[in-house]
A and B are shown apart, each in its own frame.
Chain A
Amino acid sequence: MKPLFNKRGWSVLAACVLVAVLLPLLHLALPPGHPLHVSGYAMGLVGKFMCYALAALALDLVWGYTGILSLGHGVFFALGAYAHGMYLMRAIGRDGSYGSLLPDFMVFLDWKDYPWYWAFTDHFWYCMLLVVLVPGLLAFVFGWFAFRSRIKGVYFSIITQAMTYAFMLLFFRNDTGFGGNNGFTDFKRILGHAITAPATRVALYLTTLALLVGALLLCRWIVGSRLGRVLQGVRDAESRLMFIGYDPLAFKLFVWTLSAVLCAIAGALYVPQVGIINPSEMSPANSIEMVVWVAIGGRGTLVGPIVGAFAVNGLKSWFTAAFPDLWLFALGLLFILVTLFLRKGIVGTLPDLKRLLPGRAGGKPAPGAKEETA
């Protein structure tokens, strides 16, 4: 079996992980004011980006390697987040503004008891099961119907968008029982620890890091295996694959469901770190933004989406603070320029760049690469 990364790849990965682990240590060990102290805000930001990176990684698995463009991954992300949010809401206990065991929004709606689907959600591990099962089941059923009738390409993208739109409308309703417009917020504790305590936040951060690295290795292993080859066959020539005798349904369904579950895990990690989840996470625009992370980082590279998620969100954080009015212009132009001139994304273009460097006899640069230096 081929190694997951070459030597250089492993060392880059190890260096990145080392830096990522160092951040919370600097946050905890050094007093505020020390030049090397990492603020809680900065650590939270990196934690959030890692959640986005995990979602982008999941999306790359289906789009980059199997050619299925989902414009509805936001729904899996949000469902995972809501599933974890249910536990966090119940963990508030009687500390809500009404002093009731019910969450504030239910008291507000004059509900006397939890609806049936909130049963057992006071158990952390049951909710973790929901995080995996609910989006997984949704993806499985949706994918089974869609792939069975061989919906692909643009049609698939459009119906995934319709799906996330429908879910957004559903979750916006107060009667759905998930807090309507406001969603879940004001969490107090997780597994008995105060959610805003530095130690809890560091633990959440490290969990996210571990899961992100684990997911990267898992995806790397999958795409390198024979299964991964079939997936790329689906992407490049599905009809030919079928003529050879493969049934793409099972392969597509597997990778689609796995991707949804990874995305849901990203959502579940996102909620306690950001402290809020509401239906706007399911808006079609959010899902498309995820696609842009992948496109900018480089689809079909696995590392690219992670780079893309960090790059775009870093840019967004800076832009929305410095020039709030210009962010949408910047994002829009990024969409256009990347699709026109940077077809392979940042990571995909690196090898082309190397060939351009003097001293290495390079062939002609790839057509998409010529603007990269600008």
Chain B
Amino acid sequence: MRRMLTYFFAALTLCWATLAQAAIAPALLQPLAGDDPDARIDAVARIAASGSPDARKLLQALLDEELMATPAGQLLIVHDGQAVDAATGQAVALPDGADGVVVNNRLRGAAEAALSGLALLAPARAQRLAAAQALQARDLDPAQAPLLRQALARETDADIQGILRQLVATADLQSSDPARRTAAVTALADSGTPALRPQLQAILARNPDGTYIETDAALRTAAATTLAAIERRATRNDIVANLFYGVSLGSVLLLAALGLAITFGLMGIINMAHGELLMIGAYTTYVVQSLFRHYLPGALDWYLAAALPAGFVVAFAVGVLLERSVIRWLYGRPLETLLATWGISLVLMQAVRTVFGAQNVEVANPAWMSGGVTVLGSLVLPYNRIAIIAFAVLVVGAVWLVLNRTRLGLFVRAVMQNRRMADCVGVPTGRIDMLTFGLGSGIAGLGGVALSQLGNVGPDLGQSYIVDSFMVVVLGGVGQLAGTVIGALGLGEINKFLEPLAGAVMAKICILVVIIIFIQRRPQGLFALKGRSVE
């Protein structure tokens, strides 16, 4: 019994000792109460480095302006009128003459950074990951190195370890210990971001007389290697990003041009109102979205599922109406068709302006489309771009199936190749014309639904795509689905790779010039049908 009591007291004493250790040493606290700004910031970093829960409490109190100092230099955390001695953690009576610790912006920033560093020690993985990523995003304070090292030692999760290792190395770059700096530079070869370039270049900088400022040759070699690795990675990421955005732009062009590939490519109708059919698809999306918002707010995220068929049907109907009322009287007179369809486009644009107003309307991405997937460390590929690419693939597949695997497609091809012969064997050519034009218009409507997810939806939407769409179809070769696909992707890629070199507008001008020259060389486009006709 006596022994047990002894053990009990021993354990109790141990507990007290741990607790006392966990509180913060007064020597660390002292500068906070003082006036020296550098000493105060240094103190914040050192308190944070201890990593204890008390440190977090203290820093939070500092940020919340609940920290008071007595004239004697004792620090008190005052919460709801209850004062606690910061050094011992014991409740005390609030002495007279205690004054709030002044927090300026610089101190606040340091305390915030230190707090987010402390979150690295939190028990929940998500919290630690968020803290690590937050630190990655901001400028790192070298004074946090000890805290980071401590967090790294405790960390068990591989992802967070990776980020922490990079953070530790980044912090160590400014360490005073040459060995540690060299190790840090070497470690960064695998994980460093382009943001570190200036620091590494500073290591490699020379004096005006040609000698290196940095005297440690090993460090310089390591820095050169790391810099090269970072550059390589940045170049690779740029190329991958350009490829991705090129494909993305290409699929946008493809969706815009695919309908035209049918109406202009197959039927030979110069449809200047094509852009307005895109616009109709986009406005249908807007209307469907508004209906969902009004009647089915719970399913708002899925309004696109309804907008796609609606966009197709509306544009199909408008297309059939146009074909029956105007275009069918103009077959065989391409230049007149051009003028009449331009007139139609003016009327459609003005009609939309009258109904919906001249301002752009707001079409929101569904929630599942926001955000993106991160690849290669730092490259973010947005979900909406990925969705557009996938959608373009689907639409092209569907068009190919319709043209090559259905009876309608067979008739369409027959009428386009030899109208009179098709007529003779009983194909209703007039109806096929109508349906083909409707199909092309409907696909333009689908393209419009897709475009509404990427850019502004306004009455002028079609105008900005009409020249591009014609370029794609002409470049690919009229009447060639594969040509249209390759033309669109090629234009998208060329555009994205030219943009960093020449700027967006010049890239566009260059492409137009290239296409004009290309058409001179191959008037029939990339994929020309071989024939014996002179014209």
Contact = CB atoms under 8 A, between A and B. Distances in A.
B505 A154 contact: no
A165 B469 CA distance: 13
A159 B270 CA distance: 13
A163 B516 contact: yes
Nearest to B349: A328
Interface string B309-348: 0000000000000000010011000111111101111110
B335 A340 contact: no
Given A153-B335, A154-B270, A284-B467, A328 B346 contact: yes
B354 interface: yes
Contacts of A163: 512, 516
A288 B506 CA distance: 24
B513 interface: yes
Contacts of B486: none
B350 interface: yes
Nearest to B329: A340
Interface string A95-122: 0000000000000000000000000000
B80 interface: no
Interface stretch (B158-166, B363-371, B402-410, B517-525): B517-525
A339 B336 contact: yes
A339 B517 contact: no
Contacts of B344: 332, 335-336
A170 interface: yes
A268 B130 CA distance: 64
A359 to B, nearest CB: 33
Interface in A73-115: none
A291 interface: yes
A329 B347 contact: yes
A331 B346 contact: yes
Contacts, number: 118
Max chain B Cβ within 10 angstroms of own Cβ: one of A69, A166, A172: A166
Interface string A354-371: 000000000000000000
A151 interface: yes
A166 to B, nearest CB: 4
A328 to B, nearest CB: 4
Contacts of A172: 505
Interface of A: 69, 71, 142, 145-146, 148-151, 153-155, 157-159, 161-163, 165-166, 169-170, 172-173, 239, 284-285, 288, 291-292, 295, 325, 328-329, 331-336, 338-340, 343
Given A150-B523, A158-B474, A336-B326, 9 more contacts: A142-B516, A149-B521, A151-B523, A154-B270, A155-B519, A173-B505, A292-B339, A331-B346, A339-B337
20 contacts: A69-B338, A148-B520, A149-B523, A157-B270, A162-B470, A166-B512, A166-B513, A166-B516, A172-B505, A239-B535, A292-B339, A325-B354, A328-B346, A328-B349, A328-B350, A331-B343, A332-B343, A332-B350, A336-B347, A339-B330
